Chain A
Amino acid sequence: MTSFTPTRRTLLKTGTAAAALATFAPAVLRQAVAQGADLAPYKSAKIDWQQTKGETITVAVIPASYFENLIALAPQFTELTGIDVRFEKIPPAQIRQKSVIDLTSKTGTYATHAADPMYYALYAANKWVEPLDTYLNDKSLTDTAWFNFDDIIPAWRSANGINGKLYGMPYDGEVTIQVYRKDLYDAKGLKAADTLETYVSNAAALNAPNDRVWGAALRGLAGAGQNMYIYPSIFRQFGGDWMKGGKLTVNGPEAEAALAWYVDLMRKYAPTAAANWNWPDIADAFSQGTIASYIDAHSSASVINNPQKSKIIGKVAYARWPKGPSGRRTTSIWNWGFPINAALSEKKKKATWLFIQWAASAETQARTAHRFAGPTKRSGVNRTSIWKDPDYIKLMNGFGPNFVEATMDALQHDTDVDWRPRVPQWPAIGDTMATAIQSALSGQATVKAALDDAQRRIEPMMRG
């Protein structure tokens, strides 16, 4: 560990303090916070930041440090634009529900919200959110050169686009990488797996449940964002294609091989409980030294490096996804993006765009990451330029060997827009697949039966 020392308590303190400040503090206090900040980097943009002065917008985010950092900086935005931002923190599962209710009912409660990239197809099909290109190309609203949209990680931009139109501006994202115990691997002369096959043989070599060390763990918990987060990568790496002849197909031979690999790894080399684990549980177990390797979001590195509870600091190294039989590596292209609610008034839409532009700008990204005053620095910044910034790299390298390289390689080479089927029916499809995978993981159904059943359920959804 070098300069990066996040602790849970401090994380929570600063995060929530900032949140409380941003939400409840009187205007006077906000001014005070804002005054210390230098707004010159923003004012160099050739737009009138104050054009919607006096507006108030509500932004729904999830409780996560990367949003806490943004909330902490919100007074600067208010100072810059005269727009008041109210943040509402809603847990991930509920934020989808609440925002969909808000969007369907066209009440315009949330000007923007932390959006799941898988939902844009649904949003766009119903015209619930605005295409952002209009705002990006409007000279009075966006200084193209200053905002430098192309600097934003391409994979996330395409993840948030439907038919070439952008619907959500990536704010923070992640890639999936291999995390492993270098000490255990070295002791057995193993190297980070380059293929899925080796990943299994590594897990087999290190699996010693009697000594409370299991070979590997992947998310097993049923859920569109849980087992259906990890499975699509495996599916694609086995050469799977969601659309076969224009028809969504989830039970082809590649799917069977992919799910069989997943089930086999989990049943043989993961703790039994992992079938119900989400990634925080995996990270907790890994930090206690009971898992030799896992494949999950690169952002989990901060949890396993938390000195307050981790026993394996300094023993961790990273690598890309092992490649599948198709020769492909497929990372998640997950990111939290900000869309513009179509039910807003024109003026509020503009105010929301100014907020989005501010939040996604290189300056704010840096201020919420390596230049953030608090203890937690973001590891999911949306800018390629920041990923090349020596200060940021130095900070990220604190997580362990090869962290930056693995993450950058994944970001540049392993991304895949068709990671998951991007159709408006995704929420229901994701749930159906999650249940199918769970029944295979738990042994209630064979791989084939589980997938065939999912296919049967999904077909009517696609027709309807």
Chain B
Amino acid sequence: MTARRLRAAVILAISAVFLLAWAFPIIWSVLNSFKTDSDVLAYPPKLIFSPTLGAYREVLFGSGSILPNLVSSMIISVGTTIVTMLMAIPAAYALARLRFHGKKFAGFYVLTTQMLPPVGIIIPYFLVLQTIGWIDTYQGIILIYLSFSLPFAIWLLVSYFEDIPLEMEEAAYLDGASRLRTLWRIIIPQVRGGIAVTVVFVFLNAWNEFLFAVVLSGNTVRPVTVAMFNFVSVEQTLWAKLAAVSVLAMLPVVVLGVVAQKQIVKGLTIGAVKGGGRR
């Protein structure tokens, strides 16, 4: 074996170990979701068992169905993503291109909002929403989610906007296009990859959020991350059902990941090649 091959083999082996460690919880959940309660507890853990859809049937169509929760999660995540992008794209463009008073401060401010520990701001958020009657409402949760998704999206998008050569824009102006038209027709198509990456991350953050959701939601709006916890009762953990819900909650994430994969990779490499630094 040549040194090169040996090196490749070592790298492969190390990757395999990491991959296994990362994939194990997912594989474990998927397997358990198809087991009966007694199979879940069997020792040694059964790799071969007669799979059942019982847990899925129960969590989807049983009396404690999590379908409303999946819908809740979807409304929150899609809503957050749309509003975030509508506001983040112009904001990021402005930060990247325009010269205005307090620009540096605005850029810094956007970043600092990311530095606050969420636990510290839950109570003020709760109070604000309670005062305006938005506890346990979609608009309330989306509003709060904007507080972390918007700075994140702006921060991510700025670097993509900065990577667009200024000359392209100037060419558009020479042809008589307005700033908005230029943004829409020239710039946005150029940063498609970056926008796709941002959309995916914003969606995922909203979909996976738990801390704010558990405090600010109630019976009406209850995302799946919160509902899932009811399968861990004080009396017992309903492993098979918990696994089934986890797999169902993972599905949209996986689908989105696969669909957007090409864009993500492209988006990531653009950032990597060009250094990704801002200003």
- A residues engaging B (CB < 8 A)? 8-9, 12-13, 15-17, 19-20, 23, 62-65, 86, 88-92, 94, 97-98, 101, 104-105, 107, 109, 212, 280-281, 283-284, 287-288, 290, 299-300, 302-303, 308-309
Given contacts A86-B219, A98-B215, is CB(A284)–CB(B237) below 8 Å? yes
- Inter-subunit contact B235/A64 (CB<8 Å): yes
Which residues of chain B from 188 to 245 have any CB-CB distance to chain A below 8 Å in the complex?
Answer: 214-215, 218-219, 229-230, 232-238, 241
Q: Which residues of B are interface residues toward A (Cβ below 8 A)? A: 37-38, 41-43, 58, 62-64, 122-123, 126-127, 130, 135, 214-215, 218-219, 229-230, 232-238, 241
Residue from A19, A88, A300, A309 with most neighbouring chain B CB atoms (10 Å): A309
List, in ascending order, chain B residues with CB within 8 A of A281's CB.
237
| Minimum Cβ distance to chain B for residue A4 (Å) | 15
- Contact: B233 with A63, CB < 8 Å? yes
For A92, list chain B residues within 8 Å (CB).
Answer: 234
Question: Which residues of B have CB within 8 Å of A64?
Answer: 233-235
Q: Which residues of A contact B130 (CB under 8 A)?
A: 105, 107, 109
Give Cα distance in the complex from A98 to B135, angstroms.
Answer: 12
Contact B122 A16 (CB under 8 A): no
Give the distance to chain B from A239, nearest Cβ to Cβ, in Å: 31
What are 6 A-B residue pairs whose CB atoms fall within 8 Å in the complex?
Answer: A20-B63, A63-B234, A91-B229, A97-B215, A98-B214, A281-B237
Contact A280 B235, beta carbon cutoff 8 Å = yes
CB atoms of A101 and B238 under 8 A apart: no
Question: With contacts A101-B126, A287-B41 known, is A88 near B236, CB below 8 A?
Answer: no
B142 to chain A, nearest CB (A): 20
Contact B229 A94 (CB under 8 A): yes
Complex interface: chain B residues within 8 A of A98 (CB): 214-215
B213 to chain A, nearest CB (A): 10
CB distance from A170 to the nearest CB of B (A): 16
Q: Are B232 and A8 in contact (CB under 8 A)?
A: no
List of A residues within 8 angstroms of B234 by Cβ? 62-64, 92, 280
Residue of A nearest to B42 (CB): A288
Interchain CB contact under 8 A, A8 and B123: no
Question: When the two chains form their complex, are residues A302 and B63 in contact, meaning their CB atoms are under 8 A apart?
Answer: no
Would you give the shortest CB distance from A240 to chain B, in whole angstroms? Answer: 27
Given contact pairs A101-B126, A288-B41, A303 touches B235 in the complex (Cβ within 8 A): yes
Contact B230 A89 (CB under 8 A): yes
Query: Which residues of A lie under 8 Å from residue B37 when comparing CB positions?
Result: 8, 308-309
Q: Which of B63, B127, B237 is the most central at the interface, judged by chain A CB atoms within 10 Å of its CB?
A: B63
Partner of A280 from the list B38, B122, B123, B237 (CB cut-off 8 Å) is B237
Can you name 7 extra interface pairs (CB under 8 A) apart from A92-B234, A98-B214? Answer: A12-B241, A89-B230, A91-B230, A97-B215, A101-B126, A104-B123, A284-B237
Alpha-carbon gap, A371 to B232, bound state (A): 27
Q: Which of A89, A109, A299, A308 contacts B235 (CB 8 A)?
A: A299
Q: Using Cβ atoms and an 8 Å threshold, which residues of chain B touch A308?
A: 37-38
Residue of B nearest to A60 (CB): B218
Flag if A88 contacts B215 (CB, 8 Å): no
- Contact indicator A302/B215 (Cβ below 8 Å): no
Taken together as a complex, chains A and B put the C-alpha atoms of A280 and B58 apart, in Å, by 21
Residues of B within 8 A of A105 (CB): 123, 126-127, 130
Kindly list the 10 A-B residue pairs having the minimum CB-CB distance in the complex, ordered from nearest.
A16-B64, A17-B63, A91-B229, A63-B230, A16-B63, A107-B130, A309-B38, A280-B236, A63-B233, A309-B37
With a cutoff of 8 Å between Cβ atoms, the chain A residues found around residue B122 in the complex are: 101
Cβ-defined contact, B236 with A8, below 8 A: yes
CB contacts (< 8 Å) of A9 on chain B: these are: 58
Is the Cβ of A284 less than 8 Å from the Cβ of B215? no
Complex Cα–Cα for A91 and B38 (A): 24
Q: Are B135 and A109 in contact (CB under 8 A)?
A: yes
Please give, as numbers and ranges, the residues of chain B lying within 8 Å of A288 by CB-CB distance: 41-43
Residue in chain B with minimal CB distance to A278? B237
Task: Name the A residues within 8 Å of B41 (CB-CB).
Answer: 284, 287-288, 309
Q: Are A94 and B63 in contact (CB-based, < 8 A)?
A: no
Please, how many angstroms separate the alpha-carbon atoms of A15 and B238 in the complex? 14
Instruction: Determine the residue in chain B with the shortest Cβ distance to A86.
Output: B219
Q: How far apart are A54's CB and chain B's nearest CB, in angstroms?
A: 20
Q: Which A residues are CB-close (under 8 A) to B58?
A: 9, 12
Which of A19, A89, A281, A287 counts the most B-chain CB atoms under 10 A from its CB?
A89
Judging by beta carbons under 8 Å apart, are A302 and B235 in contact? yes
Chain B positions within 8 Å of A94 at CB level:
214-215, 229
* Chain B residues within 8 Å of A284, by CB: 41, 236-237
**Bound-state Cα–Cα, A280 to B38, Å:** 15
A329 to B64, CA, bound (A): 41
Alpha-carbon distance A300/B235, docked complex (angstroms): 7
Kindly report which residue of chain A lies nearest to residue B241, judged by CB atoms: A12
* Closest beta carbon of chain A to B224's beta carbon, Å: 14
Q: Which residues of chain B are within 8 angstroms of A16 by Cβ–Cβ distance?
A: 62-64
Chain A residues with Cβ under 8 A from B64's Cβ?
12-13, 15-16, 19-20
Instruction: Collect the chain B residues with CB atoms within 8 Å of residue A107's CB.
Output: 126-127, 130
> Do B43 and A62 have beta carbons less than 8 Å apart?
no
Inter-chain CA distance A9–B232, complex, in Å, is 14
Given A105-B123, A308-B38, A290 and B233 touching (CB < 8 A)? Answer: no
Structural contact, A13 and B43, CB atoms closer than 8 A = no
A214 CB, min distance to chain B CBs, angstroms: 12
Of the candidates B214, B218, B238, the one whose C-beta lies within 8 Å of that of A12 is B238
Report Cα–Cα, A196/B143, bound state, in Å: 56
Residues on B with beta carbons closer than 8 Å to the beta carbon of A86: 219
| Residues B233 and A62 in contact, CB atoms below 8 Å apart | yes
Contact present for B236 and A290 (CB under 8 Å)? no
- Which of chain A's residues have a CB closer than 8 A to the CB of B238? 8, 12
Q: Which residues of B contact A97 (CB under 8 A)?
A: 214-215
Nearest Cβ on chain A to B28's Cβ, whole angstroms: 15
- Measured in the bound complex, the distance between the Cα atoms of B237 and A63 in whole Å is 11
CB proximity of A290 to chain B, nearest CB, Å? 7
From B232, which residue of chain A is reached at the shortest CB distance? A91
Please give, as numbers and ranges, the residues of chain B lying within 8 Å of A90 by CB-CB distance: 214
Residues of B contacting A283 in the complex (Cβ-Cβ under 8 angstroms) = 236
Q: Which residues of B contact A88 (CB under 8 A)?
A: 218-219
In the assembled complex, the CB of B66 is this many whole angstroms from the nearest CB of chain A, namely 10
**How far is it, in angstroms, between the C-alpha of A248 and the C-alpha of B218 when the chains are bound?**
38
Cα separation A400 to B118 with both chains bound (whole Å): 48
A15→B62 CA distance, assembly (Å): 11
The complex places the Cα of A110 from the Cα of B201 at a distance, in Å, of 35
Q: Is the CB of B218 within 8 A of A101?
A: no
List the A residue with the shortest CB-CB distance to B218: A88
Which residue of the partner chain B has the closest CB to A91?
B229
